A and B are shown apart, each in its own frame.
Chain A
Amino acid sequence: MNQALTPAHAAEYLYREAHLLDRQRFDEWVDLYTGDAVYWIPAWKSEHQPTENPETELSLVYCASRNALVDRVWRLTSNLSVASMPLARTAHAVSNVIVEQAGDDTMDLRSSWTSHVYNPKYKSQHVYFGSYEHRLRRVDEGWKIARKKITLMNDFIPTVLDLYMV
């Protein structure tokens, strides 16, 4: 029996992830990830080319475990980071979801995203946008994210970029 998620369910999985970020339910968001999850936002090395190898090239964010994400999420709500007080308000839109590969235990998805970010302190706003590549993996509790690569198209950053903004 093929137990892969249907394309519609796979897309909804991505919407739910975005929803948790927008609602700032960060602990639940982190729980979507496997312990060995890789979360990666490459930098760009030229006008046309994002970096490809995180061991030899720079990334904007490279987290090689869920623990690294737990730390980042802890910081956001620690009241010890002036860049996170107050938190920005965000609204993600995920679209153009393509199922690249669907197996019983893994699924690879591609999608496009935009994220509107509003900074209530300075009443300023910005739109980040790019593409996602998700690898979902089946575990006992259901499907989790084993890998997420975020290609940020507008990588010239107005002051701050944090995980919940992209």
Chain B
Amino acid sequence: MSKKDIASLVDDRPEDGVFRLHRSVFSDPEIFEMEMKYIFERNWVFLGLDSQVPHPHDYMTTTVGRHPVVVMRDGEGNLNAFINSCPHKGAKLCHLAQGNRKIHVCQYHSWSFDSAGRIRGLKFKDDGQYSPAFDDDSHDLAALPRFEVYRGFMFGALSADVLPLSEYLGEARTFIDIAVDTSPRGLELVPGVVGFTFEGNWKLQLENCSDQYHFTSTHPSYLKVLDRRAEKGWEGTVRANVRGRGGRKAMQFPADGLEHIAGGSTSFEHGHNLNWNRRTVNDSHPLFERAEELKERFGEARRDWMFNTRNLTLFPNVQVAENASSQLRIIRPISVDKTEMLTYCIAPVGESAAARAQRIRQYEDFFNPSGLATPDDTINYEDCQDGHLNPVAPWLQGHARGMMLAGPDGDPFIDRLGVKALSSVIGGVELGDETIFHTYYRSWRALLQAGQRADEAAARSQPAPVSARLVETVR
């Protein structure tokens, strides 16, 4: 059990205008262990989209924290999530990323299970000379204590003691809605998954998605490539819905007193947040072909939000990034200084072939680890990680921009959606708000402290360790 003083690592004094993070948050292996145990293994974690398992008996494998998990759709169409480990000896039951099976047979000793996780065959059971106690046990697959789906987004938890999912996601749900509503048939993953690793802490990825300040500094080569394409009018290259590109005229907003606002950031409870940039409704966006239809269905304000760039983080492990294209990314921490990413192009079901091809090209350009932008992000994470062991100046200065603006009110753009934010900031292109990160670390701190308290309480209610009892007996 860790006695680490978590509160001492987050210097959070809003009344003094201070929010600072200690570098060991990114580099201390003991903290990483606590994160796995108290955040990833006791809290809601994103598993995947239900459209990844559309048919009866479809399954997909994933992880929750350090544990293998399989999501299955049973013969009646119900979704369940199980620990992907045979109750007999623990062998992994489902070996592929996804598939379709009515019966899953363990390859070690042939115990078999149906797609609802029920034991269907226990090899040579009658000859096994089992005791009645064995028969009293369930031999079904172990279901995750909690599993819920919000508009196709599947979440699971290894602890039953979590909030209802709708409460956990809270107001951030509106931004899932906006993404899902871009098609009457919801969202799907374009075939083809891209996985990569970086030698850095998982929270570097968490932050970068919410970080508007880095964009022009980290990605000048990408921006310059877009300029080159526009200048040369090159055929066979990709256009993108990115800040300033496509001409100033394309980003002319109505003179309503807010035309100077380029975007902002919004924080929600439980660590979720959104950073966004205003975009006009223009044809560099694959949704343009349905702009009128979306306006009729959802009203102008909500339709316009569909065209804004939106980087949504649902704490702790999933981000939906809709900017140069649209990406679903799942963050899987491996160790304090290594992170695995699974990334997909996420798209509205039923968009035209031309729109889909445009979306895919924009995606590859920006988001792939073989593209023009993401490598410059991930190398930055590695450079940060290198410096995060530094004991000389342990307090980072990267969570302070926007402190004088942040507050729960005064964001007319969020108000148009009827969303209640924990904190919101709007401003010009150069604002680069960093208060958006605070909700991550306040939730992070709360979960780690709750975990410590729960473990302490459990330790108190248990009998003293054997060694102590032996001493008692000898006395």
Contacts and interface: CB of A to CB of B under 8 A. Distances in A.
B370 A83 contact: no
B12 interface: no
A157 B225 contact: no
A13 interface: no
Nearest to B200: A159
A75 B225 contact: yes
Interface in A14-66: 36, 41-47, 51, 54-65
A55 B364 CA distance: 12
Interface in B313-364: 344-345, 353, 356-357, 360-361, 363-364
Contact of B236 (A60, A65, A80, A155): A65
Contact of A162 (B191, B194, B375): B375
B357 A68 contact: no
B382 A72 contact: no
The 5 closest A-B CB pairs, nearest first, are: A58-B192, A65-B236, A83-B375, A43-B192, A80-B221
Contacts of B371: 61
B470 interface: no
Interface in B415-471: none
Interface string B360-404: 110110001111100110111011000000000000000000000
B24 interface: no
A59 B225 CA distance: 20
Nearest to A38: B236
A56 B193 CA distance: 13
Given A71-B229, A83-B379, A58 B194 contact: yes
Interface residues of A, number: 42
Contacts of B353: 55-56
Contact of B195 (A41, A64, A68, A155): A155
A81 B222 CA distance: 8
B389 to A, nearest CB: 15
Interface in B183-225: 190-199, 218, 220-222, 224-225
A67 B234 contact: yes
B379 A61 contact: no
B232 interface: yes
Interface string A70-93: 011011001011111000000000
Interface string A128-166: 000000000000000000000000000111111110000
B133 interface: no
B395 to A, nearest CB: 24
A54 B191 CA distance: 10
B474 interface: no
Contact of A67 (B199, B232, B344, B360): B232
Nearest to B342: A156
A47 B194 contact: no
Interface string B18-51: 0000000000000000000000000000000000
Q: Which residue, B192, B225, B232, B353, has most C-beta atoms of chain A within 10 A?
A: B192
B255 interface: no
B376 A83 contact: yes
B197 A58 contact: no
Given A83-B376, A157-B370, A159-B382, A71 B197 contact: no
Given A56-B353, A157-B195, A64 B224 contact: no
B196 A67 contact: no
B372 A60 contact: no
Contacts of A58: 190-194, 344-345, 360, 363-364
A82 B382 CA distance: 11
A102 B167 CA distance: 65
Given A45-B191, A45-B192, A68-B236, A62 B361 contact: yes
Contact of A55 (B193, B197, B234, B357): B357
Interface string B222-247: 10110011001011111000000000
Contacts of A45: 191-193
B96 interface: yes
B1 interface: no
B413 to A, nearest CB: 32
Contacts of A63: 236
B372 A75 contact: yes
Nearest to A75: B221
10 contacts: A56-B357, A57-B191, A58-B193, A60-B368, A67-B237, A68-B234, A71-B229, A75-B221, A159-B197, A162-B370
A62 B364 contact: yes
B98 interface: yes
Contact of A82 (B190, B193, B376): B376
B191 A51 contact: yes
A46 B98 contact: yes
Nearest to A55: B357
A57 B378 contact: no
Given A59-B364, A68-B237, A161 B369 contact: yes
B96 A74 contact: no
A159 B221 contact: no
B97 A161 contact: no
A46 B382 CA distance: 29
Given A58-B364, A65-B236, A81 B375 contact: yes
A57 B236 contact: no
Contacts of A36: 236
B360 A60 contact: no
A72 B228 CA distance: 11
Given A55-B357, A58-B194, A161-B369, A82 B379 contact: yes
Nearest to B377: A83
A38 B238 CA distance: 14
B228 to A, nearest CB: 6
A60 B237 contact: no
